[in-house]
Structure 1
Amino acid sequence: MKRWMWIVSITIMVLLCGAGGVFYYVYSSVKETVDQMYVPIKADKPVSLMQKKTVTEPPSVKGSTEQNDQSKTAQEEKFRPFSVLVMGIDEREHDRGRSDTMIVIAVNPNKPSMLMFNIPRDTRTEIVGHHTVDKINHAYAFGGIEMSLASVEKFLDMPIDYVVKMNMEGFVKLIDLVGGVEVNNPFAFNQEGTHFDQGTIKLDGELALLYARMRYEDPRGDLGRNDRQRQVLEQLMDTAMNWGNIDRIPGMLKALGSNIKTNITFEEMKFMYKNYLPALQQIDSTEVEGSGTRINHIYYYLVNDTERKRLHNLLQSTLQ
């Protein structure tokens, strides 16, 4: 359940001035929090979200001048799609920790649609900059956000525009601050002494974390856990986009600022809120198909080149 960085961006965008500007206090508080969360990434390349994307086809020469002007205007309202790597980090004392969760998200405001999928944490791949082949979640332990981002880009053969990192404490706080989430549990199970009934259940932050974490009682293992994580994330996103309690803003900002890091700037978040929210209403997802095996007594999830190419093409198609 530590895979919820995109919800951070969405929540902040929703907080950003409400549905059209709440108060200067809220605006200034959000900016201060985002500035606290912001971290530059050495591998950053300029992302031109701030500029509208024009269509390649010229406007029709037929019809009136007014019709041609309307066609040109429609072209100028196209915006650049972007991708995000969301990482949930299992931080430990005297240890940087590992990325317990990795979610890749592609957002296209022109369709509008959003693609979301988990990269299983045991996926065996090249760790870029470390000169090893290892579990992808170890990249964060070896080289932090930058090495994780570079390794995911190598795995997918695709550049990723943004990254958001959140720790478990931040996730729990965020769920509690929005009043919990409601999920549809496909089967009853126990996790760390807590029983989860089948059917619709309401979860606070701690319970949501346990719910999304379970995999050993799931016949689909890590894939089943990924489904629960996405389910909680989607519910959290929906709740965040429909929030209406201004009194929760200060506590939410405090939770976000101290537990999240991202290379999304305040200006970019404002731009996303204004122009990209419709894409979040249509969420498509897929599974990373592979097989488990042991190499030198260590468990790995193996993803072949055909599957990696499928993921690459899916991302590419979403972002076009």
Structure 2
Amino acid sequence: MEGNSKQEKGKKSRKLTFNIIIGISLFLIIGVCVYGFSVYRSVANTLNSTHEPLNHEVSKNRDLKINFSEQDSISILLLGVDERESDRGRSDSLILLTVNPKDQSSKMVSIPRDTRTEIAGQGKEDKINHAYSFGGVETTIETVEDFLDVPIDFYIELNMESFKDIVNALGGVKVNNAHDFTYDGKRFPEGQLQINGTDALKYSRMRSEDPRGDLGRQDRQRLIIQAVINKGANIKSLANYNDFLDVIAENVRTNLTFNDMKDIQSNYKAARQNIQQVQINGEGTEINGVYYYVVSQSVRTELSSMLKQHLNVN
């Protein structure tokens, strides 16, 4: 991870990889509990406004369309996008979520943004987060499918600029912090912490003081994800849910329809109680002066086999 730290020097102006922002959408698809007509209507209007279908309905790695009522296992690619004025931007956060409702489990695979792989349709290898700049969500999905050799059924894309507003709209979140540290003038002592949007941003950014470097930072980001899922799992607990929904409407895009989300809520909700965090093992290296995170073929094969078994696909 030392090589990675060196490559990050001089990049302070860049947006950080906010894996935590992804958790905002998870409660909508596997934990939301709407009540009363006015809240139901607000949620429906919000989620209808976020719908952006893909050019294909079924992944090339699947034979049939997902049947929610039969509790087919599903996969969702979660993207935290760093949008820029001059170009399309990059997906600086990539998490593959697989959900198996029959064994009531989910797996959350964080894909390091510097992972070196072939970019779909480009005929060359590059950092996996660059796929978004070449062809948006479609190219990113195809690239991740090729990298892991698994189907991606759905996607949820979030604008990373909305991070602080989302966490604040939830009234902050609680995390159990394993490592005492100070970052950007804020101390995070060991133990359970209640943190707002600004503090959650700082909590997720630090890596130089973490003995595990970027891997430790990813762990803290995933802690925030689960905290957000738990906090948002019941929308009636949110005093200012309208503010929360406004942020979602402005910053989330997905190929899931509102009816899809209702079906998932009905048939998949128990799977959020057992979320396994999955780390992709690799090594940092420089190639032609550029830092990459290189994942061996054996690691990819092992990971692919595990995910295929979880998704019940060949």
TM over 0.5: yes
Superposed CA RMSD: 1.9
User: In terms of mean alpha carbon deviation, does 164-173 or 240-249 score higher?
Assistant: 240-249
Partner of 1:87: 79
Pairing of 1:192-231 with structure 2 (within 5 A): 192-231=184-223
Pairing of 1:50-69 with structure 2 (within 5 A): 50-53=67-70
Partner of 1:280: 272
Work out whether residues 3 and 86 of structure 1, in 8 Å CA contact, stay in contact via their aligned partners in 2: no
Mapped pair 1:36 → 2:49: yes
- Once the 2 structures are TM-superposed, how far is the Cα of residue 50 of structure 1 from its aligned partner? 4.3
**Paired residue type of 2:57:** D
Aligned counterparts of 1:129 and 1:192: Cα–Cα separation in 2: 41
1:170 to 158, 162, 182: 162
Work out whether residues 40 and 263 of structure 1, in 8 Å CA contact, stay in contact via their aligned partners in 2: yes
| Greater relative contact order (Cα < 8 A, sep 6+) | 2
User: In terms of mean alpha carbon deviation, does 122-131 or 91-100 score higher?
Assistant: 91-100
- Once the 2 structures are TM-superposed, how far is the Cα of residue 189 of structure 1 from its aligned partner? 2.4
- Once the 2 structures are TM-superposed, how far is the Cα of residue 307 of structure 1 from its aligned partner? 0.4
SS at 1:276's partner residue? helix
Aligned counterparts of 2:93 and 2:48: Cα–Cα separation in 1: 24
Work out whether residues 125 and 155 of structure 1, in 8 Å CA contact, stay in contact via their aligned partners in 2: yes
SS at 1:92's partner residue? coil
Q: Deviations over 1:149-169 (max 9, x none)?
A: 111111001111111111223
**Paired residue type of 2:25:** V
Partner of 2:224: 232
Aligned counterparts of 2:279 and 2:68: Cα–Cα separation in 1: 33
Distance 1:197 1:51, change over 3 A: closer
Mapped pair 1:160 → 2:177: no
Distance 1:255 1:107, change over 3 A: same
Pairing of 1:281-320 with structure 2 (within 5 A): 281-320=273-312
- Once the 2 structures are TM-superposed, how far is the Cα of residue 170 of structure 1 from its aligned partner? 2.6
User: In terms of mean alpha carbon deviation, does 151-160 or 188-197 score higher?
Assistant: 188-197
Mapped pair 1:186 → 2:178: yes
Unaligned runs of 5+ in 2: 1-17
Q: Deviations over 1:162-181 (max 9, x none)?
A: 11111223332221111111
Work out whether residues 9 and 269 of structure 1, in 8 Å CA contact, stay in contact via their aligned partners in 2: no
**Paired residue type of 1:36:** S
Work out whether residues 106 and 318 of structure 1, in 8 Å CA contact, stay in contact via their aligned partners in 2: yes
Partner of 2:9: none
Aligned counterparts of 1:215 and 1:39: Cα–Cα separation in 2: 35
Q: Deviations over 1:231-254 (max 9, x none)?
A: 110111111114433642211110
Distance 1:280 1:51, change over 3 A: closer
Partner of 1:5: 22
Distance 1:310 1:3, change over 3 A: farther
- Once the 2 structures are TM-superposed, how far is the Cα of residue 192 of structure 1 from its aligned partner? 3.2
What is the identity percentage for the equivalent residue pairs of Structure 1 and Structure 2? Answer: 41
Aligned counterparts of 2:56 and 2:129: Cα–Cα separation in 1: 19
Paired residues in the alignment total 291
Q: Deviations over 1:248-268 (max 9, x none)?
A: 221111010101111111110
> Rg: which structure is higher?
1
Mapped pair 1:23 → 2:36: yes
- Once the 2 structures are TM-superposed, how far is the Cα of residue 49 of structure 1 from its aligned partner? 4.2
Q: Deviations over 1:116-152 (max 9, x none)?
A: 1201111000110222201111111221111111111
- Once the 2 structures are TM-superposed, how far is the Cα of residue 13 of structure 1 from its aligned partner? 5.7
Partner of 2:122: 130
**Paired residue type of 1:170:** S
